Structure 1
Amino acid sequence: MTTAQAGIQPVPQPTKASTEAVILDVGHGNCAVLRDGNRCVIVDAKSDKLLYQELVTSGVRRIEHLVLSHADSDHIAGALRLLPNDDFEVGTVWLNSDSQKDSRQWHELLALLTALHQAGRLKARLAICDLDGWDLSLENVLIDVIHPTLTDIGHGTGKRGRVRPEITTNGMSVVLRVLLEGLPALLLPGDLDSAGLDQILSRDKEVSAHVLVYPHHGGHSGGGTEESFAKVLCDAVSPDVVLFSMGRGVFRNPLPEVVEEITRSFPDTRVACTQLSENCHVGPVPDGERDYLLNRPAAGHTGNRSCVGTVRVAVADNQLVVEPAPLGHKRWIRQHVNTAMCESSAILPVPRPRYP
């Protein structure tokens, strides 16, 4: 299937080569495009058309790696239409086995990968762990595999055994740390749970990043209190921006206690959601001036559901910048949102310089 056959109308915008990380607003799910010129690495693929639009309009034809953090449908569904698309050349698809996942989409994805691999269209790697190190990297986009471990993928998901703890689908999520032009830009933790976080911290892995895409869309962490998980995670990552990739009207994410803990314990950290949470505003989303939204594909454009929308992280003057910038976004929130959870004070946080 080609992009034209899929009925996709690209949004005109410059296609010059650049280094950037784009966290697409895909509603309830995850998708990040890590771009180095006309090559890229994609991490998770919830949406198909939004991802197609982003790739086509940014001039990407070569997908070096597609990493699927775990087997949940809100992370893999878009891959079923992306991979057979003749408009793109795909290098390697990375994913881990999951003995507990029995969804139709997971079965279809495994069958599709088998067929495409046998046809010589791509390589399929049914194992990705911290021993893979920087193998996903491009020239100006360095990607470190933080989690899971070889032991984790060796035992796979399932109940506690004689030599290992219980490993859930979320606990097996692939966690990636991304550097743009040497600067620690992004931590992509999939749906990492509290057990997985404890394991990462016990191995003293470097996880600091300018932007943290919060695990599990701001939902439950799978152990302990949500406040404790949020504090430990943000202490480790020390993010300037915490982003919740979530869909309005799905699970009422992010949880209020998660946002409250971050804004209380880390007042200099900017908190943003791709779509406007129902915990912040009940009823129709107000219009207001929305010129802060990026001219990039975003699920929230339909039905006026956007909050910060699709987010771009790039390097300018040897510093990391995040778009949309906070000023216009915060102005809209303060004028039109009833009880914005992210508003802990009237002072906008000033991003700290980031160095390798």
Structure 2
Amino acid sequence: MGTGLLALAAGLLALGFLPVLPPVWLLLAMSVVGLMLLPFRTHPVAFFLFGFAWACISGHWALDDRLAPGLEGQTRWLEGQVSGLPEQGQGVVRFELQAAQARRERLPRRIRLAWHDAPPLHSGERWRLAVKLRRPAGLLNVQGFDYQAWLLARRIGATGTVKAGQLLRPARLAWREGLRQRLLDVEAQGRGAGLAALVMGDGSGLTRQDWQVLQDTGTVHLMVISGQHISLLAGVIYLAVAGLARWGVWPERRPWLPWACALAFLGALGYGLLAGFDVPVQRACVMVALVLLWRLRFRHLGVWRPWLLALNAVLLFEPLASLQPGFWLSFAAVAILLLTFAGRLGRWRWWQAWSRAQWLIAIGLLPPLLALGLPISFSGPLANLLAVPWISLLVLPPALLGCLLLPLPHVGEGLLWLAGGLLDGLFRLLGVIAGAWPAWVAPLLPWWLWGLSALGALLLLLPSGVPLRVLGGPLLLLAFWPPEPVLHEGEVEVWQLDVGQGLSMLLRTRDHAMLYDAGARVGDFDLGERVVLPTLRKLGVRQLDLMLLSHADNDHAGGALAVWRGIDVARVRSGEPGALPAALQAQPCESGLGWQWNGVRFRLWQWSAATDGNQASCVLQVEARGERLLLTGDIDVHAERALLASALAVHTHWLQAPHHGSRTSSSMALLQRLRPTAVLISRGRGNAFGHPHAEVLARYRRLGLAVHDSADQGALTLRLGTFGPVQSLRAQRRFWRD
């Protein structure tokens, strides 16, 4: 049975690694073959085929429920019901619409929408909305957050922006919405949003600073409804019944163990319903149910079989759960605890078990965090050593009891005030820890080095006395000193990051690095902080010799301040230094300035007669072994005409499309003089400006230029000085990517 469970899990987990999904007819044939093999000794193969076929068929259903390509970018009137709790942001409300219907088109069952300056929205309401629809898409950078995979895992088939709306039917039973509002309004010493996250799993009210503190200290799991919270409540109920039975208070006619397990599961299920019963909550409830069932009837089967049963149960219920990082981290953490405590000789004291568990979880989760590209908190063991019992024993009980007793005047509010104060004290303590030890973003690791570090972590988790365990530490430390990229004299590595409607390019020689533009900042979403900085760290860039901001427009310089704060920047230059934040201390572009780094030549140019910011863009020419790249910012045809009279108007192999390919740029005169072989376009998919313009694309095609577009290909990279091809991240196929 154990091998069958392992084979079933392997088949279900294989989904996340597929570049394309097999056709349905082949999956049905696999199922038939599995049925034929089931009576024989090859039943593990049959279980693998069942799991693989079911996961892939589920993936097909999710892909088939996405928005039709013909509706991309169109505005349609549709009707649907608000699902879950709407997320309140800075001037925008994000929410999900389920059972969406339109008169003439078939729509996905779930759509994620954003509504700027929206009226009050409540869960369960039915609305008629005018929506500009988009197919699921997201930015694609080096080991960055895969928004498209996240949407598919939640079975969201489209996104969109609401233009207008009309309420058709108010919510009937909006008790979760009402409870959240009570938590946000109650006097909780400024931590009402934190209580809403802790009690209901709604973290939309937490500030960006709060999330950063949680990330730096490795305590994000404490502020979302996770297996820890649900298992804690189930454990309290179980222990309460067991204590009553031990003290002789429990009725003798009712066996205490079945009642303890049943009441504990009901408590966990009720907490899950309070939290909205999303996929992570469902996973936690399934695991609690199996643990209680194991305690009740199947303790003789050992501890690993319930873990495998829970893994398979979650994946059979929702095969796409494996596309979410939380799935891997939660099951890995439980596996580490089982490996740590199961089968050990002797007993640890409670304080030894608690402290060692934190350090061993930190070691064991290091390989999955590296594989997923997530930040690693060195202060996590210490922070969790304090924060887990603080939340579990001091904050959560009065928070839940306060919600239950809110109908009683002053009683519920008082308990929530106490819980909020305790939570605020914890955040202050975590802030001090985060300031001393911020999270670390590990550079990219080759697969063989990751495998050695994972082996080292496994050896360290094994009991003392195991042969070769002493090698665990050195092998694990290899992850912290990855090999540097090999860049020869006269070569420069160029990265065009995927920052949506904006621009950010990294240029790195053997000993130097510079950033050309830093992406945009829109409200509280700073692409410099969310995309540029993590990518720099992931690529192993520790400092910038120069940050060159072409001009001060938000889509080029909005993220500059976050980059400047997050990494050592020796110098900042810009075509509009006076329009940038004073903290950057930006210097002017200095047209004609040139320098060399490791045999690579750089030269600046700016139109002296510019009348606006776009025309004033600081243009950069890079030449490596005779291969040239020209970065043009947002210059228009007038600035292009002036550029033709400069020393930069020579044959250029790679051209960054001026002004994202707008109609007022990329003149035929410029293209004929430069004679580029390829054009790099950085823009947002379905942007409101219509970039790149159809006339400009036709001009590129007429001249036979290769067009590389970040909206279609994600981040792009090339090695200037080798005359090699450009590489795109979207070429690394995954079945959910268009």
> Helix, strand or coil: the match of 2:620?
strand
1:66 aligns with 2:66: no
Q: Which runs of 5+ in 1 are unaligned?
A: 115-123, 153-164, 276-306, 338-356
Residue 144 of structure 1 aligns to which amino acid in structure 2?
R
8 Å contact 2:602–2:621 — kept in the other structure? yes
> Helix, strand or coil: the match of 1:312?
strand
2:642 to 180, 191, 199: 199
1:237 aligns with 2:681: no
Q: How does 1:21-40 map to 2 (within 5 A)?
A: 21-37=494-510, 39-40=512-513
Residue 725 of structure 2 aligns to which amino acid in structure 1?
V
1:177 aligns with 2:636: no
8 Å contact 1:13–1:58 — kept in the other structure? no
Residue equivalent to 1:311: 716
Question: Which has the larger helix fraction?
Answer: 2
8 Å contact 2:623–2:629 — kept in the other structure? yes
How many residues of Structure 1 are paired with residues of Structure 2 in the alignment?
254
Offset at residue 23 of structure 1 (A): 0.9
8 Å contact 2:663–2:695 — kept in the other structure? no
8 Å contact 2:637–2:667 — kept in the other structure? no
> Helix, strand or coil: the match of 2:628?
strand
Residue equivalent to 2:631: 188
Return closer, same or farther for 1:65/1:205 CA change in 2, 3 Å cut-off.
same
Cα deviation digits, residues 249-283 of structure 1 (max 9, x gap): 2222110011012102x12x2112110xxxxxxxx
Cα deviation digits, residues 129-157 of structure 1 (max 9, x gap): 3231x13x421432111333xxx2xxxxx
2:728 to 316, 324, 344: 324
Q: How does 1:1-356 map to 2 (within 5 A)?
A: 10=442, 12-13=444-445, 15-18=484-487, 19-37=492-510, 39-46=512-519, 47-48=527-528, 49-85=530-566, 88-97=567-576, 106=580, 109-110=581-582, 112-114=583-585, 124-125=586-587, 127-132=588-593, 134-135=594-595, 137-148=596-607, 152=608, 167-180=611-624, 182-203=625-646, 205-221=648-664, 229-250=666-687, 251-264=689-702, 266-267=703-704, 269-275=705-711, 307-315=712-720, 318-324=722-728
Residue equivalent to 2:231: none
> Helix, strand or coil: the match of 1:130?
coil
CA distance in 1, matches of 2:518, 2:668: 28
Offset at residue 214 of structure 1 (A): 0.3
Q: Structure 1 residue runs of 4+, over 4 Å off?
A: 1-11
Return closer, same or farther for 1:230/1:11 CA change in 2, 3 Å cut-off.
farther
Offset at residue 7 of structure 1 (A): 6.8
CA distance in 2, matches of 1:170, 1:71: 9
Return closer, same or farther for 1:325/1:113 CA change in 2, 3 Å cut-off.
closer
Cα deviation digits, residues 84-124 of structure 1 (max 9, x gap): 12xx321110123377x6xxxx4xx22x224xxxxxxxxx4
> Helix, strand or coil: the match of 2:571?
strand
Return closer, same or farther for 1:168/1:313 CA change in 2, 3 Å cut-off.
same
Q: Which runs of 5+ in 2 are unaligned?
A: 1-211, 217-374, 378-433, 447-483, 520-526
Residue equivalent to 2:7: none
CA distance in 1, matches of 2:610, 2:539: 42
Name the TM-score, length of structure 1 as normaliser.
0.63
Q: Which has the larger radius of gyration?
A: 2
8 Å contact 1:35–1:141 — kept in the other structure? no
Offset at residue 166 of structure 1 (A): 5.7
Residue 34 of structure 1 aligns to which amino acid in structure 2?
L
Cα deviation digits, residues 285-310 of structure 1 (max 9, x gap): xxxxxxxxxxxxxxxxxxxxxx1211
CA distance in 1, matches of 2:442, 2:500: 19
CA distance in 1, matches of 2:548, 2:599: 18
8 Å contact 1:39–1:60 — kept in the other structure? no
8 Å contact 1:8–1:52 — kept in the other structure? no
Cα deviation digits, residues 30-70 of structure 1 (max 9, x gap): 11100013530111111313221221122211211110100
> Helix, strand or coil: the match of 2:670?
helix
Return closer, same or farther for 1:28/1:325 CA change in 2, 3 Å cut-off.
closer
Residue 571 of structure 2 aligns to which amino acid in structure 1?
T
Question: Taking CA–CA contacts closer than 8 Å with sequence separation of 6 or more, which of the two structures ends up with the larger relative contact order?
Answer: 1
8 Å contact 1:10–1:53 — kept in the other structure? no
CA distance in 1, matches of 2:589, 2:574: 6
Offset at residue 236 of structure 1 (A): 1.9
CA distance in 1, matches of 2:679, 2:576: 29
CA distance in 1, matches of 2:610, 2:606: 16
Identity %: 26
Offset at residue 209 of structure 1 (A): 2.0
Offset at residue 319 of structure 1 (A): 2.6
Residue equivalent to 1:352: none
8 Å contact 2:610–2:639 — kept in the other structure? no
8 Å contact 2:680–2:708 — kept in the other structure? yes
